[in-house]
Amino acid sequence: MTKAALLKRPEAVVLRAFALGFPEAYEEFPWGERVAKVNGKVFVFLGMDGDTLGLSVKLPQSGMLALGLPFASPTGYGLGKAGWVTAKFGKREKAPVDLLRSWIEESYRAVAPKKLVAALSAAPAPRKPARSRKARR
């Protein structure tokens, strides 16, 4: 996989930006893989294998439910035993972006230092934009 290969799929661009939006998250390319890390630890692997989009995350709470989905499987290299789940989507398969965002957040919370998770939890929820006067009529 090249660094640019992942960015060919719009949902991959969205998921990458979401992962990198967490406090102190950054991107690296170990083993030729695109990963998002926090405090030196990977919380999401984002990759492409040909036309297949892949994502691996640590899911301590929802992992068993996730593994019941047709596109999910335990992550290889023994990571599956530690709660890591891999999701793969072929060229014509639409990735469920909202579900994958929730998985990325769960993985970040599982891997990040407690002080960052606490700060994330303490942050106010995003407010809905106010409706204009025209929209209220």
Indicate the SS3 state at residue 131: coil
- The string of pLDDT tens digits covering residues 25-46 is 999 998 888 999 999 999 999 9
What average pLDDT does the structure give for the chain? 85
Residue found by looking up tokens 């892949």 in the block: 54
pLDDT tens per residue, range 57-95: 999 999 999 999 999 999 988 787 888 999 999 988 999
DSSP label at 69?
A: S
- Kindly report the pTM of this predicted structure: 0.83
- The larger pLDDT score, comparing residue 129 to residue 96, is at 96
C-alpha distances (whole Å) from 130 to each of 59, 123, 124, 125 are: 35, 20, 16, 15
Q: Which domains does the chain have, with CATH numbers?
A: 5-122 (3.90.1150.30)
The predicted structure's pLDDT at residue 99 = 97
In sequence order, the β-bridge partners of residue 133 are none
